[in-house]
Copies of this chain bind each other. A is one copy, B any other.
Amino acid sequence: MNIGKAADASGVSAKMIRYYESIGLIPAAHRTASGYRDYTDDDVHVLQFIRRARDLGFAVEHIGELLALWRDQGRASADVKRIALNHVQVLERKIAELQGMVATLRTLAERCHGDDRPDCPILADLDAPAPSCPECHPAPARRRFGKP
């Protein structure tokens, strides 16, 4: 099976398959005489595993760990559970951060007329955040959600 078929079958784009190979997440694929990458059903299976883990928000780094455990028949399920629960914590921290932002923005938007007048509490707050409104000013988020 060539890379295009493998991409369709696994839901991982051909670009990404080559990328995962380049960073060592998956071993180099077999090649046909003409140099085309050639995939087996098992290879596609691995790619599906990766895609599913990505959909669950695992970083590629952690997917590598999960793959190793998956391949290791003697692994302890505790290891897997630890990785999963650790990921849950990371996700929940992120959720809390986002919820703080939403709360602030909703509060500000509620106080905004939303008409043609120039007054706008949203801009006013961005300008000089009112210290008397703790709901508007959650703990400063040092790291943003761009880096999982």
Contacts and interface: CB of A to CB of B under 8 A. Distances in A.
The number of times this chain is found in the oligomer is 2
Contact of A105 (B87, B95, B148): B87
B123 A70 contact: yes
A30 interface: no
B81 A120 contact: yes
Contacts of A80: 112, 120, 122-123
Contact of A95 (B56, B88, B102, B123): B102
B77 A127 contact: no
A134 interface: no
B77 A120 contact: yes
Interface string A50-78: 00111111000000001001101111111
Interface of A: 45, 49, 52-57, 66, 69-70, 72-78, 80-82, 84-85, 87-88, 91-92, 94-95, 98-99, 101-102, 104-106, 108-109, 112-120, 122-123, 125-127, 129, 140-141, 144-148
- 4 pairs of A and B residues whose beta carbons are closest in the complex: A77-B120, A81-B114, A81-B112, A80-B120
